């Protein structure tokens, strides 16, 4: 019979480093992730006591068995010196609302119970993780006194559109820290911060599903924990077209951002400008996987929204903003354009409506999706020929505009 999670923790007693890997049916990729993690710990922290926790959502494809199977002998070839300690593994099902946040809760509980000094979580579908990721995510916490290490990836210019068009610019404008990948999925954090996360009553909300990443980042900034970011190179995982497969991911992430705005309104109203955060790691050029995008379908979805959702939008937006959207809906495909000033105004107006509860919140967030697809389409059309560097500059200018238009948000919020 398998030992319970609690008994395994009691037997281990304490650890220096804890690595969490949340999983659900990731048998194809998780073996590679576990090997990279174990190799990284053995190579960069050979004297540290380390525990790996696989927090699994009830996989039926052999994911848990794959984790148990991976052993230290699998990577003797790549080490210059043998590790002094064996890495202990715990494979456990998590409980509560199905989703990544519930998996993280189990990892935080293990970190608190084992008094871990430094922790990291990495996604189980990563194909680009290397042993070096462990050093980059953990060393700032373990040796430099940071509490939170956000990831910094090289991504395809049209990957991460929720981050690029909403979460990064909004988080930066609100809280004044330039954390480029606030919903990256792979993070380092201190045991102290893990204990703080556990005290929060959010485990029955959207945070327990897809909202956990932005919730962790926002709390670390807003509560004044010392933070940095680490350059990890390419993030290659199971990629999706930004126009499809959105639904729950979009609404849960945006609802978490908007909910946190309500919690921290006294803080962000006082923040006037943004500052860079310390960055670790060596910047280098990497090849990233191409993404195919169906622009026609996305414009079609936007037009459908203009036709079917205008009644909801008019409860949220100023009359001239709604009128502007109607005129964009009439543009032919080749002339389609959705200006960024309009987009920022919409993001701020929807934040105010969410805060006031003037429209049913789930309907409100779902009605945003066609607007988001319209803005992403416009961005893709504008940047078809741009280099990744030029696209990054455009995103930075969008962020600056979010900061400049913040008085509009504060005025409408009041």
Check whether domain 5-280 has CATH 3.30.300.30, yes or no: no
pLDDT at 77 over 80: no
DSSP string, 257-292: HHHHHHHTHHHHTT--S-EE--EES-----------
Per DSSP, the three-state class of 48 is: coil
* pLDDT tens per residue across span 265-307: 999 999 999 999 999 987 766 665 566 778 899 999 999 999 9
In tens, the pLDDT along 113-147 reads 999 999 999 999 988 899 999 999 999 999 999 99
Instruction: Compute the average pLDDT of residues 98-104.
Output: 86
71, two tokens: 């052993």
Residue 271 near residue 320, CB atoms below 8 Å:
no
**pLDDT tens, residue by residue, 340-394:** 999 999 999 999 999 999 999 999 999 999 999 999 999 999 988 888 889 899 9
Distance CA 274, CA 176 (A): 4
What value does the mean pLDDT of the chain take? Answer: 90
pLDDT of residue 286: 63
Statement: residue 78 has pLDDT above 80: no
pLDDT digits (tens, 9 = 90+) for 20-43: 999 988 999 999 999 999 999 999
Alpha helices in 86-144 (DSSP H): 100-113, 132-142
Q: Where are the domains of the chain?
A: 5-280, 295-413
pLDDT band of residue 209 (cuts 50, 70, 90) is confident
């Amino acid at each position: 019979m398998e030992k319970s999670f609690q008994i395994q923790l009691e037997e281990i007693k304490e650890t220096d480093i804890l690595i969490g890997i949340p999983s659900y049916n990731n048998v194809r990729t998780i073996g590679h992730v576990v090997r990279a993690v174990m190799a990284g710990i053995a190579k960069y922290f050979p004297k540290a006591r380390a525990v790996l926790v696989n927090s699994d959502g009830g996989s039926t494809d052999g994911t848990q068995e794959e984790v148990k199977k991976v052993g230290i002998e699998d990577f003797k070839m790549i080490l210059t010196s043998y590790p002094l300690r064996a890495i202990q593994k715990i494979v456990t099902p998590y409980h509560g609302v199905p989703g990544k946040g519930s998996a993280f809760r189990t990892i935080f509980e293990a970190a608190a119970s084992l008094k871990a000094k430094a922790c990291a979580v990495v996604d189980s579908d990563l194909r680009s993780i290397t042993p070096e990721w462990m050093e980059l995510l953990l060393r700032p916490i373990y040796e430099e006194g940071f509490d939170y290490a956000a990831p910094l990836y090289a991504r395809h210019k049209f990957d991460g559109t929720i981050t690029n068009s909403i979460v990064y610019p909004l988080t930066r404008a609100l809280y004044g820290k330039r954390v480029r990948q606030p919903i990256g999925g792979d993070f380092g954090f201190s045991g102290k911060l893990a204990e703080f996360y556990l005290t929060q009553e959010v485990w029955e909300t959207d945070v327990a599903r897809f909202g956990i990443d932005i919730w962790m980042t926002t709390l670390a900034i807003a509560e004044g924990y010392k933070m940095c970011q680490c350059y990890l190179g390419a993030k290659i995982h199971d990629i999706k077209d930004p126009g499809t497969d959105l639904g729950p991911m979009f609404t849960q992430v945006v609802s978490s951002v908007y909910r946190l705005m309500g919690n921290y309104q006294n803080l962000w109203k006082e923040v006037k400008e943004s500052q860079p955060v310390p960055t670790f790691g060596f910047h280098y050029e990497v090849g990233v996987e191409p993404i195919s995008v169906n622009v026609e379908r996305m414009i079609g979805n936007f037009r459908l929204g203009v036709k079917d959702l205008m009644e909801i939008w008019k409860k949220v937006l100023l009359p001239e903003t709604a009128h502007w959207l109607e005129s964009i809906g009439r543009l032919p495909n080749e002339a389609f354009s959705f200006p960024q000033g309009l987009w920022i105004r919409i993001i701020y107006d929807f934040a105010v409506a969410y805060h006031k509860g003037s429209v049913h919140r789930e309907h409100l967030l779902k009605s945003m999706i066609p607007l988001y697809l319209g803005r992403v389409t416009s961005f893709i059309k504008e940047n078809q020929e741009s280099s990744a560097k030029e696209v990054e500059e455009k995103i930075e200018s969008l962020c600056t505009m979010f900061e400049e238009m913040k008085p509009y948000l504060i005025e409408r919020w009041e």
